[in-house]
A and B are shown apart, each in its own frame.
Chain A
């Protein structure tokens, strides 16, 4: 174990001469390199995306026709639950963390993350956490089946044996997220190259800085609420049981105090990505940089004050619903600032439409649709109709799939040449884009209509009048799932070779990451760069 201590100077000298990479499996198990860890996060997120996606396919298969066809209702519930948990905690969040690991040190001119060993620990906890979650599906009585929001009393009184495994796997996921967030925030605070002042930081760095703050603030609250679920279920407490003086609604308050900042954790880094891509392909500086920073911070602060808009139908006092309704609508203001700035950046720009730009443009349009349906849901009296219908499902899938996932895909296309040194196959990328764009709208747009007409979410059967729309939705779902195989093909092809990328990769790209060679050397900025 003292190898690390006795030979650091030798190692460092080696790095000066050639790009020293340790070989074999140990490279990945023992690594302290932010690029290796970023790659592992991204591959893990992709695998989880396909596992969670398979569950979505099972859900869509069952809902293809009314009536019960393929799965038992209890299994259907497990699929909706674990699909949500995997996509939120296993796909979107690790993908953003992977991008943060890869890009933040390069963007701020740092040699690595501030706490490299803890960085590796954060990553390696995740596969084990999801192993526990997935193994729980095979327990007698099945896995978690109470929805990803695990409302009490579904998760306490009415849940199966595996709930304890769910609780502890969420605990270690939370440990991983908190450590990852601490690493990001300390890296940004303390590792910026001389001259990289706060207001010179790329927006991806800014949005991740604020995201990391949100993670540190709310992941412990999630740990608290799963602990209460555990003690309520197994140790006789009554936090969420009125007979013991508690209240099931208390669960929702604590959960959504975590949950609402959590949804911004999944979208703020996306804003950063789009704010990097739009200026590059519009060949213009980002419009309103400072207002973007302030808008991001405002969204983060407001996210702590709006949680009960998920709970309008629980019978809260009217003044509380009014407060949460107006606070929620206020979020539209900074979000509008962002969308305006992106559009203004493109105004009279010399635009080209490579794949990252197309995904970013789709993001702006489709995320805005998701934002508008969010505004509709924020209206308390209207929410009484929308609550727990497919309208909500449509809303958050527009925000998370065409929002978060599209931004992640855009980011991968944008930085892939920097990571691999090769250009991806542009025409395959276009196929991926157009197939995804068409199928994703076929998948999620009709959900608005069935939702408004009253089709409830999380139910494996539905009334006959929803049959045609659901068939469309399922076909859209299968096509969207298949389209993502093109993405894997692009990734493998690009990793194996292709047209060599230049250092700058994109004509309009600006920033420190474009000044290092492509592929980025194993160690970058061992001595800080000069920031103009």
Chain B
């Protein structure tokens, strides 16, 4: 009686991909761990090779898994309820990503508003300041650490400002790609998606250029104290997310070229777009908090 009112939920029978993915993560974690240990001990070992093997297996898994899912989706096995599951799953994944960045933003807030002030003698830390580092100046950006490492701050004007504009525009072009998809304007969809990809690639190239500039001209390095730490980890993890988002969008673009997605059903496009808008929002927070303030 209920089969008429409710569609069956598609439960895939068996799949080899999850266990392949677990093996891939094992190789990646074990390999990365050994690689880091080898680098710090300045010795050579199997870590790097295992890490590469792990990534190869991961790519193999992703290709196979997504091929499965796309085939199932294209042959109409997925109900509206499953589409909701996917959407909710992606939304919660983005929530977890937000919390990952929050950990680093939280560290930046604490280091700047609390740790640095205390090192400068505020609150009840006058003696710490006098006895440990009486020459320390608690000013942000922290261009001279208590231990004496010096660096230069990255200005927000110039390259970072241009990059902000690029990423904001890419979010807008992606939005128009989406409206193109919904209004069956495939030309607009393809053009705008391609434009988004190009803007993303430009952003990443400029980011690489900025890093080279930071290391070579400003002496701003990952190990230049708390300012350099937070600068490189926040922008670095953001850059990794842009890279991932761009790869996802690239595959969405290929699927668009093959004629996939309809105005009603386009979860993969939607998920990629959400992810892209998310990295854009993270960048705006980053630009304001890391570069400007």
In the complex, whether A4 has a CB less than 8 A from a CB of chain B is: yes
In the complex, whether B289 has a CB less than 8 A from a CB of chain A is: no
Which residues of B lie under 8 Å from residue A225 when comparing CB positions? 103
Asked if B88 contacts A526 (CB within 8 A), the reply is no
Residue in A4, A165, A223, A246 whose CB lies within 8 Å of B30:
A165
Q: Mark A230-262, 1 if CB is under 8 A from B, else 0.
A: 110111111100111111011001100100000
Asked if A191 contacts B85 (CB within 8 A), the reply is yes
Which residues of B lie under 8 Å from residue A218 when comparing CB positions? 99
Residue in B2, B22, B88 whose CB lies within 8 Å of A128:
B22
Asked if A30 contacts B233 (CB within 8 A), the reply is no
A118 to chain B, nearest CB (A): 7
Which residues of B lie under 8 Å from residue A112 when comparing CB positions? 9, 11
Chain A minimum-CB-distance residue to B147: A243
Residue in B84, B145, B226 whose CB lies within 8 Å of A190:
B84
Asked if A124 contacts B18 (CB within 8 A), the reply is yes
Asked if B114 contacts A247 (CB within 8 A), the reply is yes
Which residues of B lie under 8 Å from residue A167 when comparing CB positions? 33
Which residues of A lie under 8 Å from residue B12 when comparing CB positions? 4, 8, 32, 116-117
In the complex, whether A280 has a CB less than 8 A from a CB of chain B is: no
Which residues of B lie under 8 Å from residue A125 when comparing CB positions? 21-22, 25-26
Asked if A32 contacts B13 (CB within 8 A), the reply is yes
Residue in A119, A127, A219 whose CB lies within 8 Å of B96:
A219
Q: Mark A134-154, 1 if CB is under 8 A from B, else 0.
A: 011000000000000000000
In the complex, whether A108 has a CB less than 8 A from a CB of chain B is: no
Q: A4-B14, A4-B68, A224-B103 are in contact. Are A246 and B226 (CB under 8 A)?
A: yes
In the complex, whether B72 has a CB less than 8 A from a CB of chain A is: yes
Asked if B99 contacts A245 (CB within 8 A), the reply is no
A516 to chain B, nearest CB (A): 16
Measured CA separation A191–B81 after assembly (Å): 8
Residue in B28, B92, B228 whose CB lies within 8 Å of A216:
B92
Q: Which of B105-113, B203-211, B274-282 contacts A (4 or more CB under 8 A)?
A: B105-113
Residues of B within 8 A of A (CB-CB), count = 81
B40 to chain A, nearest CB (A): 5
In the complex, whether B135 has a CB less than 8 A from a CB of chain A is: no
Q: Which of A48-56, A169-177, A362-370, A494-502 contacts B (4 or more CB under 8 A)?
A: A169-177
Which residues of A lie under 8 Å from residue B157 when comparing CB positions? none
Which residues of A lie under 8 Å from residue B40 when comparing CB positions? 161, 164, 233-234
Residue in B19, B34, B84 whose CB lies within 8 Å of A124:
B19
Asked if A1 contacts B96 (CB within 8 A), the reply is no
B111 to chain A, nearest CB (A): 6
Q: A234-B36, A246-B115 are in contact. Are A224 and B104 (CB under 8 A)?
A: yes
Q: Please classify the interface of chain B as helix (H, G, I), strand (E, B), loop, or mixed, using the class held by over half of its residues.
A: helix
Which residues of A lie under 8 Å from residue B255 when comparing CB positions? none
Chain A minimum-CB-distance residue to B227: A245
Measured CA separation A169–B27 after assembly (Å): 11
Asked if B103 contacts A186 (CB within 8 A), the reply is no
Measured CA separation A8–B72 after assembly (Å): 9
Interface size class of A (residues with CB under 8 A): 35 or more
Which residues of A lie under 8 Å from residue B285 when comparing CB positions? none
Q: Please classify the interface of chain A as helix (H, G, I), strand (E, B), loop, or mixed, using the class held by over half of its residues.
A: helix
Chain A minimum-CB-distance residue to B51: A168
Asked if A221 contacts B99 (CB within 8 A), the reply is yes
Residue in A29, A191, A216 whose CB lies within 8 Å of B95:
A216
Asked if A250 contacts B2 (CB within 8 A), the reply is no
Measured CA separation A161–B47 after assembly (Å): 14
B276 to chain A, nearest CB (A): 19
Asked if B110 contacts A247 (CB within 8 A), the reply is yes
Asked if A231 contacts B222 (CB within 8 A), the reply is yes
Q: Mark B4-44, 1 if CB is under 8 A from A, else 0.
A: 01101111111111110111011011101110110111000
Asked if B14 contacts A244 (CB within 8 A), the reply is no
Asked if A165 contacts B33 (CB within 8 A), the reply is yes
Measured CA separation A7–B132 after assembly (Å): 72
In the complex, whether A449 has a CB less than 8 A from a CB of chain B is: no
Measured CA separation A246–B9 after assembly (Å): 51
B26 to chain A, nearest CB (A): 4
Which residues of A lie under 8 Å from residue B106 when comparing CB positions? 253-254, 257
Asked if A161 contacts B99 (CB within 8 A), the reply is no
Asked if B9 contacts A111 (CB within 8 A), the reply is yes
Which residues of B lie under 8 Å from residue A221 when comparing CB positions? 99-100, 102-103
B interface residue numbers (CB < 8 A to A): 2-3, 5-6, 8-19, 21-23, 25-26, 28-30, 32-34, 36-37, 39-41, 64-65, 67-68, 71-72, 75, 77, 81, 84-86, 88-89, 92-93, 95-97, 99-100, 102-104, 106-107, 110-111, 114-116, 118-119, 123-124, 132, 142, 145-147, 149, 222-223, 225-229, 233
User: Can you list the 10 inter-chain pairs with the closest CB atoms, starting with the nearest?
Assistant: A224-B103, A236-B223, A243-B147, A245-B226, A124-B22, A121-B18, A128-B26, A220-B100, A247-B115, A168-B29
Q: List 27 A-B residue pairs with CB atoms under 8 Å apart, sorted by A's residue number.
A: A4-B15, A4-B72, A8-B13, A22-B14, A32-B11, A117-B12, A120-B15, A125-B22, A125-B26, A135-B30, A165-B37, A189-B88, A191-B81, A220-B99, A221-B102, A230-B36, A231-B229, A235-B223, A236-B223, A237-B222, A239-B107, A239-B226, A244-B147, A245-B116, A245-B227, A247-B118, A527-B6
